[in-house]
A and B are shown apart, each in its own frame.
Chain A
Amino acid sequence: MVITGWSAVTAAGIGAEALARRVADPASAGRGVVVDGLSDVPLPAPTGHALPGFDVRAELGRKGTSWYDRTTALAVVCCRDALRSAGAPAGGDDTARIGVALGTTLGSHKSVSDYTRETLVQERPYWVNPALFPTTVMNCAAGQVAIRLGLRGVNATLAGGPLAFLNALRYADTVIGRGYADVMLTGAAEEYAPHRAWAAHHTGTTANVPLGEAAAVFVLAAAGEGVTGPRVLAVATGYAPGGGAAAGQALGGCVARVLRRADVDPAGVSAVFTGEADSRDTREFDAVTRVLGRAPERVLAKPMFGECDAASGAVALAVALSRADTGQVLLTAVGADGAVGAALVEVGA
């Protein structure tokens, strides 16, 4: 699959250029910005890699956006920009052949929890706002992307947490490969909200890196004449029952599989973009070096953009595309249970 366009909404700002500036100067990320404006309750940490000034009305107007949750807003804005950056969609402009594959953890945790809260605290348990009910389903963001951009093709939401973006890439690869769609907007989104911040605090995923929010979306089309851009060469996901050390083995299996499928010499892999939060965590990197037989450059997106959960892999790919690298790079992810995955991407010209 060829990436014919992409965009990202991250703590660095809206769009690919803002992301590239931070990639060029990682120290500018610091520990993030003060996030108390994004919450009406105390947060576990005063700062995070969020975009407090993000205003969906400024981007999309008031019409039809007043009920959006933040996840939906981030996804719709990002998909709009990704589609713009692709210009005329390669593979045709038949909107019935353009689809969406978005990764998530559980949709908007805040939307779901706030809805339940209303059923508990209101005088009557059914005094909930019907207009907000669609935000409680996990496919709200992908559905609104389709409505806003008029995309009638295969519309999928994949719940994978840390694996979500690789799940979405793999799904899009299947959809295009099987001929169900010509173009797939593929990415993931996570919002900054107290619900996520506290969940991350309780499970320890933000012990070594601030929480982040982001959406990153890539416009994918089948490789063919006149279709130019970076290429997703292969994607593989798997599961290691029991997790732990078995997950490292399984990840190595996925890395070997993408190299074999793409028929790529392991010596040509210049860098690996892992889901690890900091340089002391080498569980993914070790699995990659075992398979490659050497240690390529390791790039960590999380110190720059925070723990973005489902969007982490998408942000990592955006980082890869922002750098001046050429050749093949690997993306890896490992979930809390036993889910693992890897993608091989050809970047540069």
Chain B
Amino acid sequence: MTGLGPVSSIGTGAAAFAAALRAGASGASPITGFDATGFPYRNAGEVRDFDPRAHLRRLDPARWGRSGQFAASAARLAVADGGLDPDRIDPARAHAVIGTTSGESAVAEALTEQVVGGGFPAQDPELVARLPAHRLANAVSEELGLRGESLTVATACAAGNYAIGYAYDLLVSGEADVVLAGGADSVCRWAHAGFYRLGALTESRCSPFDRDRSGILTGEGGAVLLLETFEHAEARGARIHAELLGYGMNCDARHAVAPDGASVAECMRLAHRNSGVRPEDVDYVCAHGTGTPTNDLVEGRAILEVFGTEPPPVSSIKSMIGHTMGAAGGFGAIACVLAIAEGFLPPTINWANQDPDLVGIDVVPNQARRARVRVAQNDAFAFGGNNAIVMLGAVA
């Protein structure tokens, strides 16, 4: 893992994002991405200062949706952070893999407004062309001139980790020298309404693992990592932030929205086994930690089951950036890489009260902490029971 490209509500670029994680910054703000009038809760983790033109060199933002712009901008930042000139690599061995929950949701909503206003014939064909979800990965391939696979993984809120996992497979199986992998999503009305009606939305602050946690804060952004084979990174003298050790995936096959504890625990064991890691090797868990009563209870208990009564520190960066959906796995992975490379644990902010059901879980409350992190675990779970956990390690 040689380059980091976060475009987030608490900072854009590796340095700004790392500083914000250390400071325990909050990206929550009143929604501007859509008209939130009439919604009881009107905060989200929006990327207020997003200016695609500041990042994109080849992509014309006018032809691409907001999520594609997030993905391409994050990818451009990742190669810059990694000191990689994409014009000097073998483009056929360079791939783009991007996870997403809602794809070009802002485009879909603009089109629906046109339909509500004037019927289906009134839709703008240019906007329709920006709608397909595969354009997220295509935006990255187009921006960086990559000729390898261009794959959008649509496994909801675990998609970012699926993307990083698939990148791992491309690298270790000899298909790739370079992969840009991560996720992107945009804040949208339908998700805000749906989570509210599920009773899963918090009013203003996201407080994962707190006794009185009340739900998620919807978020957005792009989170892309530059991954290379060790040989490729070494040959060009790249600075290696961390090593991708492997990953595990499974499916609850039980419920459309409620997570299953046994399945989540099994996914952790799969991830450890596939990565050659023992539970006692893990120094930090970057939790899925959405801030809903159910997720955090299920995830916390699974951690206690897998790691025993003294698990490694567990924190949720969703307390800071909200739930960025398909980008969440990507942001979690970036946080893990920073934890390993810079020696600190990102905090769980907005934490006040110990949950009596989660005794033993150290959530790194409110303040970042210095720590030596050799192995980190990045959790991501999704509607549909899709679980994916990525393991990262310090360079051996």
Interfacial residues, chain A to chain B (CB-CB below 8 A): 41-42, 44, 95-96, 99-100, 104-107, 109, 112-113, 115-121, 124-126, 128-130, 133-134, 136-140, 142-144, 146-147, 149-161, 163-164, 167, 170-171, 174, 177-178, 180, 194-195, 198-199, 202-203, 237-242, 250, 253, 335-339
Contacts and interface: CB of A to CB of B under 8 A. Distances in A.
Given A143-B386, A152-B263, A160 B121 contact: no
B281 to A, nearest CB: 21
Given A146-B384, A239-B150, A41 B253 contact: no
B39 A143 contact: no
Nearest to A41: B120
B60 to A, nearest CB: 12
B256 A144 contact: yes
Interface stretch (B18-26, B47-55, B108-116, B287-295): B108-116
B138 interface: yes
Contacts of A129: 197
Contacts of B36: 125
26 contacts: A96-B266, A105-B132, A105-B133, A106-B154, A119-B189, A119-B193, A120-B116, A126-B40, A134-B257, A134-B384, A138-B102, A138-B103, A139-B382, A153-B250, A156-B162, A159-B154, A160-B151, A170-B151, A171-B166, A177-B173, A180-B274, A203-B129, A237-B149, A241-B147, A337-B138, A338-B142
Contacts of B263: 152
Given A121-B116, A136-B190, A137-B102, A154 B39 contact: no
B252 interface: yes
Given A105-B132, A156-B162, A237-B151, A113 B111 contact: yes
A171 B99 CA distance: 14
Interface string B250-286: 1111111100000100100000001000000000000
A133 B263 CA distance: 23
A140 B134 contact: no
Nearest to B194: A133
Contacts of A130: 194, 197-198
A125 B38 contact: yes
B193 A106 contact: no
Contacts of A238: 92, 147-150
B385 A143 contact: yes
B92 to A, nearest CB: 7
A242 to B, nearest CB: 8
B152 A128 contact: no
B156 A138 contact: yes
B125 A239 contact: no
Contact of B141 (A106, A116, A338): A338
A241 B251 contact: no
B119 interface: yes
Nearest to B274: A180
The 5 closest A-B pairs by CB, nearest first: A143-B384, A159-B133, A155-B251, A138-B154, A133-B194
B146 interface: yes
A156 B128 contact: no
Most interface-central of B101, B108, B134 (chain A CB within 10 A): B134
Interface of B: 36-40, 58, 92, 96, 100-105, 108-109, 111-113, 115-116, 119-121, 123, 125, 128-129, 131-136, 138, 141-142, 145-156, 162, 166, 169-170, 173, 188-191, 193-198, 249-257, 263, 266, 274, 382-386
A38 to B, nearest CB: 14
A158 B154 CA distance: 6
B150 A95 contact: no
B259 to A, nearest CB: 12
Contacts of A155: 155, 249-251, 253, 384-386
Contacts of A144: 256, 384
Contact of A134 (B121, B154, B188, B256): B256
B253 A147 contact: yes
A170 B169 CA distance: 12
A169 to B, nearest CB: 12
A275 to B, nearest CB: 14
A164 B134 CA distance: 9
A153 B116 CA distance: 41
Contacts of B102: 112, 136-138
B160 to A, nearest CB: 13
A174 B169 contact: yes
A123 to B, nearest CB: 9
A178 B39 contact: no
B134 A120 contact: no
B378 to A, nearest CB: 17
Nearest to A236: B149
Given A106-B108, A133-B198, A180-B249, A138 B166 contact: no
Nearest to A128: B193
Contact of A339 (B111, B133, B150, B254): B150
A119 B190 contact: yes
Given A105-B133, A147-B255, A159 B153 contact: yes
A154 B251 contact: yes
A73 B382 CA distance: 20
Contacts of A160: 134, 151-152
Given A99-B251, A167-B134, 12 more contacts: A113-B112, A119-B193, A126-B196, A134-B257, A136-B191, A140-B256, A142-B155, A155-B384, A159-B103, A194-B120, A239-B146, A338-B142
Nearest to A181: B249
Contacts of A126: 38-40, 193, 196-197
Given A124-B38, A134-B256, A335-B134, A158 B113 contact: no
Contacts of A151: 251, 253
A134 B123 contact: no
Contacts of A157: 153-155
A199 B196 CA distance: 29
